[in-house]
């Protein structure tokens, strides 16, 4: 990772101050806390929610399932019990749809290590309530894929704009082009763009 941050600075010196002021990016360096299925359930819960609120709801679901968030258990619980944790109707529907896709074998998490980013994203977005952004965050933070460039993420765009003192908003298409020189470690670049916005 230190080698990659040095490469980032050499390719784009605008990142130097942010890299120096931030902790070292840990994408791909830590073992996931949850299973693939659990991580996606928590991701669905956290969509458009404050971190603390999402954590509270997730904890309720963990307790309800007796710390065993699996597709089979989710389907046994059903929408009413899932909603009792504070999950919205739309998110409960998404969680159940994910469980159905998993239980039926339409999504096979065991084969994800052999699939490309695009193949995994294509599988995940078939689930109601999981879009491109959620799939990309899963690829980046759960699977530790280093080559994800989430140009539709507002935080990444705002961070890039701030770093490069842009006078107007950068479009996803423009940012996609700008990121070509970071091929292979775009996730790291995105991570530092977020640090700019957070600081």
Question: Which helix (H) or strand (E) is 69 found in, with range?
Answer: none
- Phi, psi at residue 112, to the nearest 5°? -60, -35
Write the CA distances from 197 to 13, 28, 66, integer angstroms: 18, 22, 37
- Residue 78 has which token pair? 């059903």
89 is catalytic: no
**C-alpha span between 42 and 61 (Å, rounded):** 9
**C-alpha span between 8 and 188 (Å, rounded):** 9
The closest alpha carbon to 143, from 23, 24, 28, belongs to 28
Q: Which of 147, 152, 153, 198 is catalytic?
A: 153
Annotated catalytic sites, by residue?
A: 153
């Amino acid at each position: 990772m230190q080698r990659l941050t040095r490469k980032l600075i050499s390719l784009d010196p605008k990142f130097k101050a942010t890299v120096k002021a931030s902790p070292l990016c840990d994408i791909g360096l830590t073992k996931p806390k949850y299973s693939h299925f659990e991580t996606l359930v928590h991701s669905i819960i956290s969509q458009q929610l404050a971190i603390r609120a999402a954590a509270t709801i997730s904890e309720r679901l963990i307790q309800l399932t007796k710390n065993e968030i699996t597709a089979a258990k989710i389907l046994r619980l059903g929408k009413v019990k899932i909603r009792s944790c504070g999950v919205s109707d739309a998110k409960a529907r998404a969680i159940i749809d994910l469980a159905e896709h998993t239980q039926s074998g339409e999504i096979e998490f065991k084969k994800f290590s052999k699939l490309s980013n695009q193949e995994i994203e294509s599988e995940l977005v078939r689930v109601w309530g999981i879009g491109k952004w959620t799939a990309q965050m899963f690829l980046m933070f759960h699977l530790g894929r280093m080559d994800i460039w989430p140009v539709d993420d507002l935080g990444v765009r705002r961070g890039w704009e701030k770093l490069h003192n842009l006078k107007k908003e950068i479009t996803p298409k423009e940012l996609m082009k700008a990121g070509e020189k970071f091929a292979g470690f775009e996730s790291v670049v995105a991570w530092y763009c977020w640090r700019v916005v957070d600081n």
